C-alpha cells in the first residue's frame, strides 16, 4: 500500500511541514514593532501566504469558522467514543483504519491545524469602526462577538490537545513509522505544536518579535540536543522550518532600526535549507546515538 511506502510517506510529511510553516509565517505580517513596517513587496507576500492558511474575510470567514468548530467538535467526540479502538487499530497497522487515522493526523490536524486555529484567533481583531476585521457584520464586544470569542478560545484549546497530545501518541505507537521516537524523547511534537499555537495567538500579532524569536531558539536548541526522531530526514525538516521561522522573526526585529529587514526576507528559503543541513552535519561530527532523557528513565 502507498501508505506503507517509506519514501512516499517522507515526501508527504515534507510537504505537510512546509505548508504548515508557510501558514504560520502569514501571521508574522504583524510581528514588527508598531514603529516599523514591512515594505510593499514583503507586505504583499505575507498577504499571499494568508490564502494558504485559509484566512479570508466576509462570508468566507464565518463559513470556515463554523466548519472549523464543527470539525474540532466531531473529532473530539469521535476520539473520546472510539479512543480504545483507534489505538488498537493504529498499533495493528490495520490498513483501512490507518487511512482514517492518517487523515485525522495529517490532514485535519496537520495541514488543517493552522487554518483551524487561525479562524478562532481572527475574531479577536477589531477594526476602527468597532466591527470584527474579518467579518464586519458583527460589532465588537456585543453578545455575538463574545460568543464567537468564547467558542474560539475553547475550541482552539481542543485543537491544540488533539494536534499536540493525541496525534503524537498515534505516531509513537507505530514501531516502524517515519515519525517514531529517537531514544525516549516524547515531547518534541507537543512542544512544536504549542510554539505554533503561540505564534498564531500571541507572538505574531503583538508587534514585539523578541519573545517569539527567543522561544523559537529554545525549541531549536532542544531539537539539536535530543533530535527527537529516529528518521534523520524528519528531524532535519523540523529543524529547517524552525530555522526559517527564527529568521523571519529576526527580520522583523531588524526592521525597527533598519529598513533592510524586508530585503532580508529573501534569505528565508536558504535558511530553511541551512536548518535542514544542521543535523546531518552534526551526525558526521558526532555519531548519532539515541539519548535517554532523565525524566523518562525507569
pLDDT tens digit sequence for 19-38: 999 999 999 998 998 888 89
d(CA 35, CA 6): 48
Residues 6+ apart with CB under 8 A from 249: 28, 31, 203, 209, 212, 213, 216
Q: Is 70 exceeded by the pLDDT of residue 262?
A: yes
Q: What is the mean pLDDT of residues 152-179?
A: 93
Report phi then psi at 183, rounded to 5: 75, -140
Q: Which residues are 132's β-sheet partners?
A: 126, 135
Are the beta carbons of 210 and 253 closer than 8 angstroms?
yes
d(CA 199, CA 211): 10
Q: Is 60 exceeded by the pLDDT of residue 198?
A: yes
Using one digit for the tens of pLDDT, what is the confidence trace for 273-287? 999 999 999 999 999
**Overall domain count for the chain:** 1
Q: Is 60 exceeded by the pLDDT of residue 105?
A: yes
Using one digit for the tens of pLDDT, what is the confidence trace for 129-147? 999 999 999 999 999 999 9
Are the beta carbons of 198 and 216 closer than 8 angstroms?
no
Q: Is 50 exceeded by the pLDDT of residue 1?
A: no
Compute the mean pLDDT over every residue in the chain, rounded to the nearest whole number: 92
The enclosing H or E element of 139 equals strand 135-139
Domain that holds residue 23: 2-296
pLDDT band at residue 290 using 50, 70 and 90 as cut-offs: confident
Give the model's pLDDT for residue 297.
Answer: 56
pLDDT band at residue 3 using 50, 70 and 90 as cut-offs: low
Q: Which three cell numbers stand for residue 279?
A: 543535523
Q: What is the mean pLDDT of residues 58-73?
A: 95
d(CA 71, CA 55): 17
Give the model's pLDDT for residue 69.
Answer: 97
Give the model's pLDDT for residue 176.
Answer: 83
Residues 6+ apart with CB under 8 A from 241: 17, 18, 20, 21, 272, 275
pTM listed for this prediction: 0.94
d(CA 197, CA 180): 23
Using one digit for the tens of pLDDT, what is the confidence trace for 45-65? 999 999 999 999 999 999 999
Give the model's pLDDT for residue 20.
Answer: 98
Question: How does DSSP classify residue 131?
Answer: E
Give the model's pLDDT for residue 2.
Answer: 46
d(CA 69, CA 162): 13
Give the model's pLDDT for residue 296.
Answer: 58
Report the half-sphere exposure of 246 (CA within 13 A, side-chain side).
20
Q: Is 90 exceeded by the pLDDT of residue 229?
A: yes
d(CA 46, CA 52): 10
Q: What is the mean pLDDT of residues 57-82?
A: 95
pLDDT band at residue 294 using 50, 70 and 90 as cut-offs: confident
Amino acid at each position: 500500500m502507498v501508505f506503507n511506502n517509506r519514501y512516499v510517506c517522507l515526501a508527504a510529511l515534507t510537504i505537510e511541514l512546509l505548508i504548515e510553516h508557510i501558514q504560520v509565517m502569514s501571521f508574522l505580517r504583524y510581528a514588527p514593532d508598531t514603529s516599523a513596517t514591512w515594505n510593499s513587496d514583503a507586505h504583499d507576500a505575507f498577504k499571499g501566504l494568508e490564502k494558504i492558511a485559509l484566512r479570508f474575510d466576509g462570508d468566507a470567514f464565518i463559513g470556515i469558522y463554523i466548519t472549523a468548530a464543527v470539525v474540532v467538535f466531531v473529532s473530539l467526540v469521535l476520539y473520546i467514543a472510539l479512543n480504545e479502538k483507534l489505538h488498537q487499530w493504529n498499533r495493528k497497522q490495520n490498513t483501512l483504519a490507518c487511512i482514517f487515522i492518517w487523515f485525522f493526523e495529517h490532514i485535519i490536524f496537520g495541514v488543517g491545524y493552522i487554518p483551524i486555529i487561525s479562524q478562532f484567533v481572527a475574531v479577536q481583531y477589531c477594526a476602527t469602526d468597532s466591527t470584527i476585521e474579518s467579518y464586519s457584520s458583527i460589532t465588537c464586544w456585543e453578545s455575538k462577538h463574545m460568543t464567537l470569542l468564547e467558542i474560539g478560545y475553547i475550541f482552539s484549546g481542543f485543537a491544540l490537545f488533539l494536534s499536540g497530545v493525541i496525534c503524537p501518541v498515534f505516531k509513537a505507537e507505530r514501531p516502524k513509522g517515519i515519525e517514531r521516537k529517537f531514544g525516549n524523547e516524547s515531547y518534541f511534537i507537543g512542544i512544536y505544536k504549542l510554539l505554533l499555537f503561540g505564534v498564531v495567538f500571541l507572538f505574531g500579532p503583538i508587534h514585539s518579535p523578541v519573545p517569539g524569536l527567543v522561544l523559537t531558539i529554545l525549541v531549536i536548541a532542544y531539537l539539536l540536543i535530543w533530535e527527537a526522531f529516529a528518521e534523520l530526514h524528519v528531524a532535519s525538516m523540523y529543524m529547517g522550518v524552525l530555522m526559517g521561522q527564527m529568521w523571519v522573526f529576526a527580520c522583523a526585529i531588524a526592521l525597527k532600526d533598519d529598513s533592510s529587514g524586508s530585503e532580508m526576507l529573501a534569505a528565508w528559503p536558504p535558511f530553511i535549507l541551512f536548518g535542514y543541513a544542521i543535523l546531518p552535519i552534526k551526525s558526521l561530527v558526532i555519531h548519532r546515538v539515541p539519548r535517554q532523557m532523565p525524566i523518562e528513565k525507569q
